[in-house]
Chain A
Amino acid sequence: MVTIPYPNILLDALEIGVMIVDENFDVRYWNQWLEINTTIAASDIIGKNLRSFYPQIDYHVFARKIRTTLRLNSPTFYDASLQNRFIEIPRTKITTSLLRNMQLQVTISPYVPEESLVMVSIYDISDLHELKLTQQSQMHKIAELNAELHRDKMIIDANLLIAKIDTECRILEVTRAFVEFFGYPEADVVGHRLGFVFGEEELDFDPVHIREAIKRRQRWSGEVKAILSGGERVWFDAVVTPLSEEGECPGYTVIFHDISDKKRIELLSITDPLTKLFNRHKFNEVFEKMILRRHWDNARTFGLIIADIDHFKRVNDTYGHQSGDRVLMSVAQTISETIRTGDVLARWGGEEFVCLLPDVDLAKTQYVAEKIRKAVEELHPEEVGSVTASFGVSVYVPGDTQESLVSRADSALYRAKTNGRNRVESHQP
Chain B
Amino acid sequence: MEQREFSEDHLDILRELMNIAMGNATASIADLLQAFGKMHIPKILISDMEGLHEYIRSAIPDNQRHYVTKQLFGGFFSGEFLFVISEESALNLGHHLYDVTQPSDGDILDAVVELTNILSATIISRLTEELNTKVQFFVPSTDLIAGNDLISPEDLLNYHSIIIINTRMEFQNHNINGQIFILTKDEMIDSLKALIDRKLEELYA
Contacts and interface: CB of A to CB of B under 8 A. Distances in A.
A68 interface: yes
B203 interface: no
Interface stretch (A80-88, A316-324, A386-394): A80-88
Given A74-B121, A79-B109, A68 B114 contact: yes
Interface residues of A, number: 20
Count class of interface residues, chain B: 20 to 34
Interface string B87-108: 0000000000111000011100
A77 B113 contact: yes
B106 A72 contact: no
Contact of B110 (A67, A75, A85, A105): A85
Query: Is chain B's binding surface mostly helix, strand, loop or mixed?
Result: helix
A71 B31 contact: yes
A75 B137 contact: yes
Interface in A41-80: 60-61, 64-65, 67-68, 71-72, 74-80
B106 A85 contact: yes
B28 A78 contact: no
Contact of A80 (B99, B137, B139): B139
A103 interface: no
B51 interface: no
B152 to A, nearest CB: 10
A253 interface: no
Contacts of A80: 139, 141
Given A72-B122, A75-B117, A79-B106, 5 more contacts: A60-B99, A61-B97, A74-B121, A74-B137, A83-B104
23 contacts: A61-B97, A61-B114, A64-B33, A68-B118, A72-B125, A74-B121, A75-B117, A75-B121, A75-B137, A76-B114, A76-B117, A77-B140, A78-B110, A79-B106, A79-B109, A79-B110, A79-B142, A80-B141, A81-B106, A81-B109, A83-B104, A83-B105, A83-B106
Interface of A: 60-61, 64-65, 67-68, 71-72, 74-81, 83, 85, 105, 107
Interface of B: 28, 31-33, 97-99, 104-106, 109-110, 112-114, 117-118, 121-122, 125, 137, 139-142
